[in-house]
């Protein structure tokens, strides 16, 4: 009986420790990030949407990502390019290695590869246009 109790305690401790380890440290991402994207846009309607940052035939897009607030894992920010500004919301993954975001018309996933660097995959599909792009974001010092 004592052996079973001891085994139950050990298993409980291991599960608790592994859950705490899986939660990871929450990185601070607030600030301005320079973003360079490679990708493209496919026009499916009469013209691209007013909130689309890409134009037909464009292969590179430069912009700025600004994370204006962070409450634990929840983030609010804006992406700005020459064509305008678009707000987004995001969540940092439990392990602190990914950021999953939604803007006005699409989604992007960010791999946090350092405290000052993110690798991003963006995509949206709308009646007017579709976009897919990969990006690197570097935090401004």
pLDDT tens for the 141 residues of the chain, in order: 666 654 454 445 444 444 444 456 899 999 999 999 999 999 987 877 778 899 889 999 999 999 999 999 999 999 999 999 999 999 999 999 999 999 999 999 999 999 999 999 999 999 999 999 999 999 998
Q: What ranges make up the beta strands (E) of 1-141?
A: 31-43, 60-71, 74-81, 84-92, 98-103, 107-114, 117-125, 129-139
Among 37, 33, 35, CA closest to 133: 37
Instruction: Return the domain boundaries, the chain.
Output: 25-139
Class of domain 25-139: mainly beta
Residue 18's alpha-carbon distances to 7, 21, 24, 99, in angstroms, are 16, 5, 10, 22
User: pTM of the prediction?
Assistant: 0.80
Q: Which of 136, 134, 138 is nearest to 40 (CA)?
A: 134
- Nearest 5°: CA angle at 22, between 17 and 28? 125
């Amino acid at each position: 009986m004592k052996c079973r109790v001891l085994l139950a305690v050990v298993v409980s401790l291991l599960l608790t420790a592994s859950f705490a380890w899986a939660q990871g440290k929450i990185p601070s991402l607030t600030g301005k990030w320079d973003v360079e994207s490679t990708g493209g846009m496919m026009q499916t309607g009469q013209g691209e949407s007013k909130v689309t940052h890409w134009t037909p035939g464009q292969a590179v897009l430069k912009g700025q990502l600004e994370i204006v607030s962070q409450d634990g894992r929840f983030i609010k920010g804006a992406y700005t390019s020459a064509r305008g500004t678009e707000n987004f919301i995001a969540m940092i993954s439990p392990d602190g290695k990914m950021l999953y975001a939604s803007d006005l018309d699409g989604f992007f996933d960010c791999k946090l590869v350092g405290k000052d660097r993110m690798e991003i995959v963006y995509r949206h599909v709308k009646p007017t246009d579709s976009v897919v792009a990969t990006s690197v974001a570097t935090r401004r010092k």
